[in-house]
Amino acid sequence: MTNFLYLVQIGGMDNLSLWKEFHKRVEWKQGTGKSYLIDDTTYDEHMSIIIWHHRLDKFPIGFYEQESQLIHWRLVEKWLDENFPNVPRTNAINFGKVYTFIKQE
């Protein structure tokens, strides 16, 4: 998996909205998305998560969204912790954290 510097939870139009807001402030290279199946036999739950691989000022930033009717957030967080340990996360509303982070690097 990609070594992201940051993961951003998005939904709906967030990806487009963030691009419109920030693409002139950072070099924004739109990447492709990859879908991962999250399986948890403890709760017999299955859902998928899509992670979009973007580069902002040459830094790998992952944008993720869940694809499920019902989302088990603890299961998503557990999966992210296991697959992307020590990668900071935020949501679209707090994207300013990511912007500040990459500008300080």
86 by DSSP, 3-state: which?
coil
1 is a domain residue = no
- Domain holding 50, by residue range, is 6-104
Which pLDDT belongs to residue 102? 93
33 is a domain residue = yes
Name residues whose C-beta falls within 8 Å of residue 2's C-beta, 6 or more positions apart in sequence. 51, 53, 60, 62
Which pLDDT belongs to residue 19? 93
Q: Are 32 and 52 in contact (CB under 8 A)?
A: yes
Q: Are 79 and 49 in contact (CB under 8 A)?
A: yes
Which pLDDT belongs to residue 92? 95
What is the model's pTM?
A: 0.86
Number of domains comprising the chain: 1
What does 43-80 look like in DSSP terms, one character per residue? TTEEEEEEEEEEEETTEEEEEEEEESSS--HHHHHHHH
Which pLDDT belongs to residue 1? 63
Instruction: Profile the chain (105 residues) by mean pLDDT over runs of 10 residues.
Output: 89 90 94 83 73 94 84 85 94 95 90
